[in-house]
């Protein structure tokens, strides 16, 4: 069963957002594990971004080539990308 990411955001609803594709493979669990090991658990908006940004097609390719994120200063953009980069570095060590 798919998680309702928008409900988890509460009153902080995004003005524009691509919703997760039901049943699509993604790397949210790996990024969450890295974030947890770094004692920087993902915020609800970060979970939505990772879930959508790391979606893969039926052929195993990433669904989105470019992901645009606009949030205020010091909201966790760098921490999000750092966790994502670490997770991908572990998963694809020779990339």
The runs of H, that is alpha helices, within the chain are: 5-8, 28-37, 44-53, 77-91
CA distance 60 to 84: 18
CA distance 65 to 35: 23
The reported pLDDT for the residue numbered 1 is 45
The domain locations on the chain are 24-91
pLDDT band at 11 (very low <50, low <70, confident <90, very high): confident
The reported pLDDT for the residue numbered 61 is 94
Indicate the average pLDDT of the chain.
Answer: 90
What percentage of the chain exceeds 70 in pLDDT?
98
Look up residue 65 and give its DSSP letter. Answer: S
């Amino acid at each position: 069963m798919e998680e309702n990411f928008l409900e988890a955001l509460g009153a902080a609803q995004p003005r524009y957002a691509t919703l997760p594709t039901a049943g699509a493979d993604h790397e949210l669990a790996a990024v969450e594990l890295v974030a947890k090991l770094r004692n920087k658990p993902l915020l609800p908006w970060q979970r939505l971004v990772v879930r959508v940004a790391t979606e893969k097609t039926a052929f195993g390719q990433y669904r989105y080539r470019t992901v645009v994120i606009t949030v205020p200063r010091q909201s966790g953009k760098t921490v999000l990308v750092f966790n994502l980069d670490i997770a991908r570095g572990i998963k694809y060590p020779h990339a």
